[in-house]
Amino acid sequence: MAKPKVAICWLGGCGGCDEAVVDINEVLLSVAGAVDLVLWPVALDFKYHSIEAMKDGEIALSIINGHIRNSEQEEVAELLRKKSQIVLAFGACACFGGTPGLANLTTKEDIFDWVYKNAPTVINPKGNVPKTHSRINGKDLTLPEFYGQVQALKDVIDVDYYLPGCPPPPHLIIAAISAVIENKLPPKGSTLAPHRSLCDSCTRNKTKPERMAITEIKRIHEVEANPDTCFLAQGILCLGPATRDGCGEACMNINIPCRGCFGPVEGVVDSGAKYISALASILDVQTDADMNRLTDQIKDLAGYLYRFSLPTSILKKKRVKELA
């Protein structure tokens, strides 16, 4: 019997997710022996046209990381969807838009203005900006179109499974790949990680006082955090209560609070909005002035709550008044 074909592809990603695949170490060798890799741009020299030549559904599994911001990324995602039986959104960017999703707090126009005009290091006297189509010396040149906002993979193609994380940890990658090879997958649409929140497995949870009451909010670099005590009890924002478990507490273990790369817990769409409820309940304030003082201590609330998930939050992007 022919080995199942597997494609690994990056769209708008940093390469960290591809690195995470390599981090499964010697398991990768047995995976490589059990499957037939047909695409992995970061590591192997396969071409997209060889994928185009395949029959629909010929690839057993496509592991796609990165967000979608331009037409090239969209085309590659659509091509892989067409040729694959299973599509796995791999990593925070593919699942929720990831850190690049924070670009949805600004507009395409502002990004272009900064990058090609106003940044202090830019020298561009002719005011050149990338165009999707130009004609030079009788030759047509094309570039992908840069879209107005960052999107997660599921907003563009049908996604079968999700594996969050920035990047996903090796034990979950191995579990996901084995589930595909052994055909032991959960129902379509599942996230291949625990359903509960990070606090449920956090070793610091037991240090939490019976009633939490924060009177000051501190940033992690401003204090020397106690490595064994709940961050929230110390007045340091930690997204654990609203974030899915499964990361292996990589950040906690180096005394850094959770920043939410595993996205919302099962059944929740908008982890930022949920976190607001949790955070508000532990703020110990009496007056409006107190409340203002405390909220002023949170720098960039939207950026903090949606560090990895703005494109899949309820509002998706900052609202900009369109000029009439």
Interface residues toward another protein, by CB under 8 A: 71, 105, 108, 131-132, 145-149, 151, 155-156, 268-270, 272-274, 276-277, 279-281, 283, 285, 288, 291, 295, 298, 300-302, 305, 314-316, 318-322
Nearer to another protein, 71 or 85 (CB): 71
Nearer to another protein, 175 or 302 (CB): 302
Nearer to another protein, 220 or 285 (CB): 285
Nearer to another protein, 212 or 273 (CB): 273
For the CB of residue 299, give the shortest distance to another protein in the complex, in Å: 11
- List the one residue out of 192, 216, 168, 153 whose CA is nearest residue 16: 168
CB of 111 within 8 A of CB of 188?
Answer: no
The two three-digit tokens of residue 72, written as one number: 């090239």
For the CB of residue 60, give the shortest distance to another protein in the complex, in Å: 26
For the CB of residue 262, give the shortest distance to another protein in the complex, in Å: 19
For the CB of residue 2, give the shortest distance to another protein in the complex, in Å: 34
DSSP 202-262: -GGGGGS-SS--BS--B-GGGS---TTS-TGGGTB---GGGSBS-S-SHHHHTT-----TT
CB-based burial, 186-208: b 16+ in 10 Å, e otherwise: eeeeebbbbeebbbebbebeeee
Nearer to another protein, 44 or 291 (CB): 291
For the CB of residue 303, give the shortest distance to another protein in the complex, in Å: 8
For the CB of residue 187, give the shortest distance to another protein in the complex, in Å: 23
Nearer to another protein, 27 or 82 (CB): 82
- Three-class SS of residue 148? strand
**Neighbouring C-beta atoms of residue 61, cutoff 10 Å:** 22
Query: Which amino acid is located at 66 in the chain?
Result: G
Give the whole-angstrom CA distance, residue 219 versus residue 98: 22
